[in-house]
Amino acid sequence: MLVNLSDVLTSADKTENYKAELEMQTYHCRLGDFPIVRKKPVSLKATNIGSGKAELDVQTQVVLMMSCDRCLKDVEYTFDISFSIEVLAPSIETEEPNEDNFMEGYQLNVESLISRELLMNWPMKVLCKTDCKGICKVCGKDLNTGECECDAFVPDPRMAVIKDIFNANNKEV
């Protein structure tokens, strides 16, 4: 959805509040495609802070369907988004090239702005529960539902020592 900010960008001391609906149903990014389970309307407060400049206060909540890093079960992950950002009218010359792609002239592309913010808030780890035991790498059993037979084989550290001595003796021969 596009929100026209030309009034706020061009009128001194002007403040406007907007509610914008996110149109995307799935969040596409370099990490994959994640269905959006729930989303709140994006609330935007835009305040003029100088000629061609506005500050945006942005708030929303987006819930994505992700999968547990350990057991791959579906996990609903909630992004509580709240941030402020400065936006510029296209007429303003900036020293640094502006790499943000969410302004299209005087219009704010809400989809692009929120997409960028989701990526910036991406969790390091997604777990179905903090103590998720994951799945067995050998048989694929979900270890949250119980132990599997594969765990029975744990190399005995004492055996490793004997093996080292054996190898050392062999070298002397």
**Contact positions toward Zn ion, by CB under 5 A?**
68, 70-71, 128, 132, 136, 138-139, 141, 148, 150
In this complex, which beta carbon is closest to Zn ion, that of residue 56 or of residue 128?
Answer: 128
Q: How far is the CB of 77 from Zn ion (least distance, A)?
A: 12
- For tokens 């599997």, the residue is 148
CB of 147 to Zn ion, least distance (A): 8
Write down the least CB distance from residue 150 to Zn ion, Å: 3
Considering the complex, state which of residue 138 and residue 162 has its C-beta at the smaller distance from Zn ion.
Answer: 138
- String of b and e for 28-53 (b: at least 16 CB within 10 Å)? eeeeeebeeeebeebebbbbbeeebe
Nearest to 60 by CA among 3, 99, 18: 18
Quote helix, strand, coil % in the chain, to nearest 5. Answer: 25, 40, 40
In the complex with Zn ion, the residue whose CB is nearer, 116 or 133, is: 133
Contact 32, 114 (CB under 8 A): no
Smallest separation (angstroms) from Zn ion to the CB of 33: 20
> Is the Cβ of residue 43 or residue 67 nearer to Zn ion in the bound state?
67
